[in-house]
Structure formats: C-alpha cells, structure tokens
Amino acid sequence: MANPNTKFLVVDDFSTMRRIVRNLLKELGYTNVDEAEDGVMAISKLKQGGFEFVVSDWNMPNMDGLTMLQAIRADPSLATLPVLMVTAEAKKENIIAAAQAGANGYIVKPFTAATLDEKLSKIFEKLGM
C-alpha cells in the first residue's frame, strides 16, 4: 500500500460510480479522495494542485476521459500524474488508444474490488510510490 494520504481524484459522470470508487478506495485505506463529474472539471481541479492519482471514466459529457488524459500528459505540471482508466468501453482500439495516450492502467466495468486493488498496487509498485 502507498501512503494512505495519497490524494485521489475520481472522475465519472455517474454519481453512483463515483461513490462506489470512493468507498472502495476508503476500504483499501485511502481516504483523501475528491470527485469531478467530467474532464473539464477534473482538469480545473488538477490544476489547483495537490493530486497524486487520477481514476477516470472514459465516456463523459463536456470532456471525455481520453481527451482529459491527453490534456494531462500535455501539461508539464501534470504530465507525470498516474491515471487509471475505469470504463465500460471495452473495444481493443479503446484500450490501445488509452495506452498510447499514456494511461497507467485500464479497468473495464463492471469490475471487482479485487481488480481495483490489484491495478492500484501494480501502478504504485511501478512508480515506486
């Protein structure tokens, strides 16, 4: 487990899913979690600083998750932020596009608590967090 104070941003247009991810993170020991309902809101929150991890949906109004990921990677102050995609988009081309855009992980909905735990641990381990 990484630092329990690691600050997460959960991005999803469905409040149900934001709550589920928030609760799962809490169960895994991470209680420092903020939420955003689309890419635009997420970027604006991220720019205020302090966030260390992003868990994001793909299909959202205003700005989708892939565009948000590309914006993060293009912004020097955010470029190294780990981003885990959690989405119902299950086409191979989606997964490839996310990987090419620099996603650190990709979870397809519906998912289990164990999957989230595993992917998070993998990313933390890789980044030495």
Partner 1 sequence: MKNNNTNVIAPEALGILPIHLENDEMLSRIGHMTRGLHENLRALGFDKIIEQAAHNIPDARDRLNYVARMTEQAAERVLNATDIASPLQDEIAKQAAVLQERWKKVMEVASVKSEYNEAASETVAFIHKTIENTSATKEQLMEIMMAQDFQDLTGQVIKKITELAQSLEQQLVQLLLDYSPSAIKKELDNHLMNGPQIAPEGTANVVSNQGQVDDLLESLGF
- Only one of the segments 3-11, 21-29, 37-45, 74-82 lies at the binding site for partner 1 (rule: CB under 8 A); that segment is 21-29
- Whole-angstrom Cα distance, residue 12 to residue 80? 21
Q: Does residue 88 contact residue 107 with C-beta atoms inside 8 Å?
A: no
15, 44, 100, 121: which one contacts partner 1 (CB under 8 A)? 15
CB 37 within 8 A of CB 60: yes
Question: Which residue in the set 4, 27, 80, 126 belongs to the binding site for partner 1 (CB under 8 A)?
Answer: 27
Judged by CB under 8 A, which stretch of 17-25, 41-49, 95-103, 118-126 contacts partner 1? 17-25
Q: By CB under 8 A, is residue 77 in contact with partner 1? A: no
Q: In the chain, where does DSSP find H-type helix?
A: 15-27, 39-47, 65-74, 92-101, 113-127
Closest CA to 56 of 84, 78, 29, 37: 84
- Under the criterion CB under 8 A, does residue 109 sit at the interface with partner 1? yes
Q: Residues interacting with partner 1, by CB under 8 A?
A: 12, 14-17, 19-20, 23-24, 27, 59, 88, 109-113
